[in-house]
Amino acid sequence: MNAELRSLYEEIILEHNRHPRHYPENPPGSNHHGHGFNPLCNDEVSVHLKVEDGVIAEVGFEGAGCAVSMASASMMTEAIQGKTVEEVGRLFERVHALLAEDGAADGVGKLMVLAGVKEFPMRVKCATLPWHTLMAALENRAGTATTDDPVAWCPQPEARARP
């Protein structure tokens, strides 16, 4: 990573950590909830969504964790509000590929800055935890999401195979 990109990464992560968007919020009428926990570093996040007609009408999160985890959650909430559930599922796949699978940054927009996390392998799970929690919320999955949850996603939760 070049120095300019690294500086941008650090600046954006710190800004979202200091001033997280949609935090701490549980939108009135939220109808999808997920809870995530990373036992390796004790990051914990809850995601609350108000989904109306297949669209993320409102989103909020709460939790505690490192700057990377909280910034990723903040950036995620900005990126998904107003998108359809299907669009969010595709975005999840692209972000996960970008962070955990050396995927391209195509189609992630401003979230591309999260690619800087790969420079710090121990922080990849910190950055992906909010995203796994988001998917658990969309599925109204009981229990606690982790970064080891399966990443295959489809818009019909009942069609998704469970381990």
pLDDT digits (tens, 9 = 90+) for 111-154: 888 888 888 888 999 999 999 999 999 998 989 998 887 654 44
Residue 60 has pLDDT above 80, yes or no: yes
Task: Please check whether residue 113 lies inside any domain of the structure.
Answer: yes
What pLDDT, on the 0 to 100 scale, is given for residue 153? 46
Q: How much of the chain, in percent, has pLDDT values that exceed 90? A: 53
Query: Domains in the chain: how many in total?
Result: 1
CA distances from 60 to 28, 32, 68, 75, 161 (A): 10, 11, 17, 11, 27
CATH number at residue 80: 3.90.1010.10
In a domain, 162, yes or no: no
Cis peptide before 27 (omega within 30 of 0): no
pTM of the model: 0.85
* Amino acid sitting at position 136: A
Q: Does residue 163 belong to any structural domain of this protein? A: no
The string of DSSP letters for 62-93 reads EEE--HHHHHHHHHHHHHHTT-BHHHHHHHHH
Residue 114 lies in a domain: yes
The domain of 27 spans: 3-156
Is residue 134 situated within a structural domain? yes
Query: How confident is the model at residue 152, as a pLDDT?
Result: 47
